[in-house]
Amino acid sequence: MSARMKRKVGAGNVAVVEPSKSPKTVPRCPLELVFQTHYYQPLWTLVGGGAKQLAASARPTGSVMPKGVEWIKSRVTALDPDKNCIWLENDVKVSYKYLIIALGISLHYEKIKGLPEGFHHPKIGSNYSVHTVEKTWKAIQDFKEGNAIFTFPNTPVKCAGAPQKIMYLSDAYWRKTGKRSKANIMFNTSLGVIFGVKKYADALLEVIKERNIAVNYKRNLVEVRADKQEAVFENLDKPGETEVHQYGMLHVTPPMGPPAVLINSPVSDEAGWLDVDKETLQHKKYPNVFGIGDCTNLPTSKTAAAVAAQSGVLDKTISLVMKNQLPAKKYDGYTSCPLVTGYNKVILAEFDYNAQPLETFPIDQSKERVTMYHMKADMMPFLYWNALLK
């Protein structure tokens, strides 16, 4: 959005508040490196599955910041839309004429008892964090036998397909290495369905049946006893009732939620998500505030594809608002999830607010295809770095 706004109002009128630090010195610890780096996170499914290197998903934040815009390297601590300003660390105030909020979603491993410290043990990983994605690949390679458990939490998540994509990659890897007969693959999901769009859910259920994977619905991971390799799940249909599973491998999808600064903020709804109009992305109460992506309460799946579609609509909305006109272009909820089902197979799910397929190609996208895998693994990252960010 900052690249789009730079074209609209000139770089000197655009500021980006982003807490990444520039490396002035050699970082003392890996954590410092993380804060100087911008990641293309959709690649992490393939990093966790051993098909890509983590470094391929990373660029220095400075290299993706539009040239000439003011980069304020700080964190937002409060939003005050009634006074058209935001507050940063050290009580610094920044005023604005227009504000775009794109804070993303927060991960909460700590809401699962025994995490994140459990990641210091073997046989456990998570593709959702830069610190744990390579542990997933190690756990897949080191797997010997027993339950291989993949989880989906009882909260909104980003990329709702990712928790099961890594399961299909694990299945494929173990078949290739002769270990599949020793693995009992389980998908324990808090949801009551495998996927929210029937056309693709039906296709995935075929894949699951074909590959002999067990799906347990309404099961929420509440505790990991990593020293004993035990995972504890709550049965959401019988609150308070739990079940314990031994695991030979565990992939954790953490609970997620709105960033702390949005909770109880004047711009948020009761659940803490940014409260925007679902068609125009303009704030419902403050006409000079706008939102995009995972931090909003838009009732669609939180993906990079959704952001790409939203950015075009938001660009038009802001243009009209700046001219004192009413927003006209409408976002239909378009989102997409390339469901990786193997090392060269993808089902490309694309759909709208009504969970109706909204497909790009004149073919049946519910079929597993090699072409769609290459689009996910090679074309999409290229388009992200060279087109979407610019």
Please identify every residue annotated as catalytic: 159, 337
Contact 93, 205 (CB under 8 A): no
**Inter-helix orientation angle 162-176/133-142, to 10°:** 30
Dmax over CA atoms of the chain, in Å, equals 65
Tell me: cis bond preceding 163? Omega within 30 of 0 counts: no
Closest CA to 1 of 12, 13, 16: 16
CB atoms within 10 A of CB 356: 12
Residues 273, 260: contact at Cβ < 8 Å? no
Nearest CA among 320, 321, 269 for reference residue 298:
269
* Radius of gyration over every alpha carbon of the chain, rounded to an integer in angstroms: 21
CB 248 within 8 A of CB 293: no
Report residue 245: phi and psi, to 5°.
-120, 135
Alpha-carbon span 231 to 64, nearest angstrom? 40
How far is it, in rounded angstroms, from Cα 67 to Cα 79? Answer: 26
Amino acid identity at 195: F
Four-CA torsion 304, 310, 315, 318, nearest 10 degrees: -130
> In angstroms, rounded to a whole number, what is the distance separating the alpha carbons of residues 169 and 343?
6
Residue 135, classed as helix, strand or coil, is helix
Q: How far apart are CA 148 and CA 139, in angstroms?
A: 10
C-alpha 101 chain-centroid distance = 17
